[in-house]
Amino acid sequence: MTPFMAKLMRMLRRYGLPADPDAAREAMFNCLSAWDAYIYLPDDAIATLQALRQRFPTALVSNFDHPPYARGLLDRLGLTALFDYIVISGEVWVDKPDPRIFCLALDALSCAPDETLFVGDSLSTDIAGSRAVGCRPVLIDMDGRHPDYSGERITRLSELLTLV
């Protein structure tokens, strides 16, 4: 059972409904199918990740409660092969900003935190979590949602190439 499925089962019970695994599974697949309509890959993502991977070890640290969907999405978008290591919170039952999820990636890549740049779009999970373990955090703020953030930021992934 994935964390997402467990959350749906808890929700059913909370509302006094039968904890029916089939109903929860159907709701989960409907939700994930709807999610697909909002997924897009920025036009510079593949080329930037390819350029980075030629020079540095790369990892993806993702908070996602249904790992099979996340892994399938990465495959469909052609991203899986662009990372040396992928850790998905739903597989390890630890979410960002918990330092343990960052440490899994750092250990897998044999990288020291103070030599690692971490890019993320969430101040509370990505930036705070990576900073807490000693990584250099970079906010990717494509839509200008964090105008008051005073740390390093990029608006396009390709800008990352000038920071490394």
The structure's pTM equals 0.88
- According to the model, what pLDDT value does residue 87 have? 98
Looking at this protein, which amino acid is placed at residue 57? P
Q: For the chain, what is the radius of gyration of the CA atoms?
A: 17
Q: What pLDDT shows up at residue 121?
A: 96
Give pLDDT, residue 19: 86
Q: Residue 35: its pLDDT value, please? A: 85
Residue 123's closest CA among 153, 86, 92, 90?
Answer: 153
Per-residue confidence (pLDDT) for residue 24, from 0 to 100: 87
Q: Which residues contact 104 (CB under 8 A, 6 or more apart)?
A: 61, 87, 92, 94
Q: What per-residue confidence (pLDDT) applies to 62?
A: 97
| CB neighbour list of residue 144: distance below 8 Å, 6 or more residues apart | 155
Ranges of the chain whose pLDDT falls below 70:
none
Condensed to tens digits (0 to 9), the pLDDT of residues 105-120 reads 999 999 999 999 999 9
pLDDT confidence of residue 128: 97
